[in-house]
Chains A and B, each alone.
Chain A
Amino acid sequence: GEDVEQSLFLSVREGDSSVINCTYTDSSSTYLYWYKQEPGAGLQLLTYIFSNMDMKQDQRLTVLLNKKDKHLSLRIADTQTGDSAIYFCAESLDSGYALNFGKGTSLLVTP
């Protein structure tokens, strides 16, 4: 299928905010997801947003959705070294079952 686009790398200092961006492909996607993958581990669901929402906040995480531009972002406030991981954006597809994943953004948090 078409590619969900994410930047490959992001480096931030501890305590700063991180913003990870994603451009998805299917304007009819019902849900959009953010997953976190730590080294050697599986994917952990961080948060998701329903397509009729513009924003969702969950503690340090803020998700913004711009349906017109098919742009999704994940903001992590007060980024900590434990937030260093790969972050995947994913969109639901027409079948309602498969997810279309981006290639992931590696976030490095430096002291």
Chain B
Amino acid sequence: NAGVTQTPKFQVLKTGQSMTLQCAQDMNHNSMYWYRQDPGMGLRLIYYSASEGTTDKGEVPNGYNVSRLNKREFSLRLESAAPSQTSVYFCASSPPRGNQPQHFGDGTRLSIL
């Protein structure tokens, strides 16, 4: 029962480097999401994909791009990493139609030096 799988689990980057975080789900969910979690801030939505072929901005999209590669996979790219992007990144997915519970991966812990 893999659920939502994120890779890598940990990464350290230098300022200005680029990086793609990978996410895959095996639950046949239509919708997928990327959040970041910072101390004292809760979770904030970066981007989401309501269905294959669509992506939309969330609350904090600046500095990020996403690709919904297929129904299973949703990647998050940092083109030029900045220290402010040091965070824990979570991918989530949910069944078709809105207002469904979201299922989360274990997160990617990213540090930008």
Residues of A near any B CB (own CB < 8 A): 1, 4, 30-31, 33, 35, 41-45, 48, 88, 92, 95-99, 101-104
Q: Are B97 and A102 in contact (CB under 8 A)?
A: no
Per the bound structure, the CA–CA distance linking A35 and B105 in Å amounts to: 13
User: What is the total number of residues of chain B having a CB less than 8 Å from a CB of chain A?
Assistant: 28
Give the 9 A-B residue pairs with the shortest CB-CB distance, closest first. A96-B98, A42-B104, A103-B42, A43-B104, A42-B106, A101-B43, A101-B42, A30-B99, A92-B99
Cβ contacts A to B, 18 pairs, < 8 Å = A33-B101, A42-B107, A43-B43, A43-B104, A45-B103, A88-B42, A92-B98, A95-B98, A96-B99, A97-B48, A97-B56, A98-B33, A98-B48, A99-B45, A99-B102, A101-B42, A103-B42, A104-B42
B2 to chain A: which residues have CB within 8 Å? none
A104 to chain B: which residues have CB within 8 Å? 42
**Of all chain A residues, which has the CB nearest B45?**
A98
From known contacts A42-B90, A97-B48, A103-B41, infer whether A1 and B31 are also in contact, taking CB-CB under 8 Å: no
A92 to chain B: which residues have CB within 8 Å? 98-99
B50 at the interface (CB under 8 A from A): yes
